[in-house]
Chain A
Amino acid sequence: MSANGQLLSARFGRRDGHKLSVYEAEGGYRALKKALKEMSPADVREQVKAAGLRGRGGAGFPTGVKWGFVPANAEKVYFFVNADESEPGTFKDRYLLDYDPHQTIEGSILSSYAVGAALCFIYIRGEFGWLVDRVNRAVEEAYAAGYLGQNILGSGYSLEMIVHKGAGAYICGEETGLINSVEGKKGQPSIKPPFPAVSGFLGAPTIVNNVETVATVPWILNEGPDAYRRYGTEKSPGTKLWSVSGPVKSPGVYEVPLGIPFREFFEEHVGGMADGERLKAVIVGGSSVPVLTADEVMATNLDYESLAAAGTMLGSGGMIVIPESSSMVDLIEVLMHFYWDESCGQCTPCREGTGWLHKVVGRVRRGAGEHGDLERLETICNGMAGLTICPLSDAAVMPMRSFLAKFRTEFETLIRKDPAPEPTSRWARGEVETR
């Protein structure tokens, strides 16, 4: 099942990977049969804990540990699969669900079993209309095959699965926003604690996991925690899907072991920069993490610890590659527009701060920046970080601060009223092949 270290991506790019018969023929639903026959929910949790699987939704929290937070005497438990995938630069969950929906469905059943859930929601962002249909068909197939519903495979365990379609809001990807959304409310985050594992959907213990996290569970149960730990590093075991975009030779989704040097990944897998482009910077973990300069990124490895040491985060693994030919001021304006647009408006520092960042950055970009504007940007950031209900506010601050600190002369030039740079990359003309 793991040819060439493809634990998750073995069926990517294939025309038949979505089919139940293909998935089964390649070992699919074997883990479910085994778990329901031979393992208790606690055994499943232990295996996942021993494998050291860390959540792929952004925070990297150990999955088995999180599952253990569900109170033992809980009457009703819910399991949510987070397929909201809206972090700019990230498009891997879409590949998982498109090419191999049953892998995620099997992982969802196993995860639900592990936490004692009788109802599982797969929350898919509304823009993925075709994918909602595809996953719904796969869920129906799984019901028909007896992998879902009452008394699954005669084990006594029953699980219902509902595919819930979002309707356009980045903030619904935040786990409490996601839960509120399925309750039929606005997808605004709630204050933690209480954490969803204790009080979530309809007040009951609820576990939310990212698609990639869940999709890894069948492999771990089939091959065992030790086999999983043969990939990656001590503290960052396993493989990771990286979504690579920007003017590179081959944009796309890549599965590699955690801990691989960025240089090797970039040169050998991605093929380096597109012709005529030079590397200036990389945002490695989706738009919400601090940017790294070319020198910084070339010196780092791709795992949670190395990236933290480099001053950034692994995040969602949405790797945005920035060429010399583009303006950092232009790009940060695009990002600040995004956070301003997507702030849910509950917290004043976030609602007002994102608006101000967007406004001030915009005038700097247009060459209308006033003296003191760069210091003003820093002051606004200081008033936004660590003060809000959810981390969206910090998610805006991290790119803003790092762009400003690491590419300050690009901003300063504009304050001195030099003409605004050509806003878009020279690359663009669509000749780049996608894997």
Chain B
Amino acid sequence: MAETRSAFALNDAGMAQFRRLVERYPTKQSALMPALWLIQDQEGHVPPEAVDWLVEQLDVSAARVHELLSFYTMFRAEPQAEYVLQVCHNISCHLSGARPLLEHLKQRLGIGIGETTPDGKFALEGVECLAACGMGPAMQLGKHFYEKLTPARVDEILESLRRGVVPRADTDRELAE
């Protein structure tokens, strides 16, 4: 692997995973998406130095990396709010009350859709179908979904997040050991 000259570095665990990716994916460029995920999982977004780093490590053009950052909605080139609340506004969730729920969230957070609270704690986004249609309205936060949401449940979730505690999500179900 080339010596890095760019200002970015993955931590040791991330670097070990990165090496494994490059080993397993058939071409360096095909490891680009998972590499972007590693960076974003560490940094919360993909900073410009990381783009330079990828260009060195994977022999891709910077244009290619930027192309991916803009095409895929989950990759973020800018720092994000601590909690990005992504509420599905597609058809089934709409039928089960996504619109009033979004209104409720806007009011509680004092921001519009696509905005971030001044303290940088919350952002609110409307997103397309999350594949939780039978359990709507649904909201994604990080790796998990909250489902069958009501205004009361959303208030509880916000309350908990304000205290810095991420409440157990519906997709985080209890599993047998």
B is a partner of A: yes
Which residues of chain A have a CB within 8 Å of any CB of chain B?
15-16, 18-19, 85-91, 93-94, 98, 119, 125-131, 133, 160, 162, 164-170, 181-187, 202, 243-247, 251-253, 283, 287, 318, 320, 322-323, 326, 330-331, 334-335, 337-338, 341-342, 423-425, 427-430, 432, 434-435
Q: Are B97 and A428 in contact (CB under 8 A)?
A: yes
Q: Which residue of A lies closest to B28 (CB)?
A: A184
| Cα of A68 to Cα of B164 in the assembled complex, Å | 54
Residues of B at under 8 Å CB distance from A?
24-27, 29-34, 36-37, 58, 60, 64, 67-68, 71-75, 89-92, 94-100, 127-136, 140, 142-144, 147-150, 153, 169, 171-176
B92 close to A245 (CB less than 8 A): yes
User: Most B CB atoms within 10 A — which of A167, A243, A247?
Assistant: A167
Taking a contact as CB atoms under 8 Å apart, the answer to whether A88 and B67 are in contact is: no
Contact call A434/B135, Cβ cutoff below 8 A: yes
Q: Which of B58, B129, B149 contacts A430 (CB 8 A)?
A: B149
Contact sample, A vs B, 5 pairs, CB 8 Å cutoff: A93-B131, A98-B171, A164-B33, A168-B74, A434-B135
Contact B131 A90 (CB under 8 A): yes
Please, how many angstroms separate the alpha-carbon atoms of A147 and B47 in the complex?
39
B129 touches A88 (CB 8 A): yes
Known: A127-B140, A428-B100, A429-B97. A89 touches B133 (CB 8 A): yes
A339 to chain B, nearest CB (A): 10
Shortest B73–chain A CB gap in Å is: 4
Among the listed A91, A338, A342, which residue makes an inter-chain contact with B133, where contact means beta carbons less than 8 Å apart?
Answer: A91
Contact of A428 among B95, B134, B144 (CB under 8 A): B95
A334 contact set on B, CB distance < 8 A: 89-91, 94
Partner of A15, one of B33, B94, B174: B174
B123 → chain A closest CB, angstroms: 15
Of all chain A residues, the one with the shortest Cβ separation from B75 is A167
Residues of B within 8 A of A245 (CB): 92, 95-96, 133-134, 136
- Quick one: given A165-B34, A245-B133, A331-B91, are A88 and B128 in contact (CB under 8 Å)? yes
Which of A94, A125, A283, A334 has the most chain B CB atoms inside 10 A of its CB?
A: A334
Inter-chain contact B134/A252, CB cutoff 8 Å: yes
Can you name the residue of chain A whose Cβ is closest to the Cβ of B92?
A245
Whether A430 and B96, one on each chain, are in contact in the complex, defined by CB atoms closer than 8 angstroms, is yes
**Cross-chain contact B175 with A318 (CB below 8 angstroms):** no
By beta carbon, the residue of chain B nearest A83 is B131
Q: Is the CB of A167 within 8 A of B90?
A: no
- Select one of B64, B100, B135 contacting A251, CB under 8 A: B135
Bound-complex Cα distance A128 to B171 (A): 9
Shortest B51–chain A CB gap in Å is 14
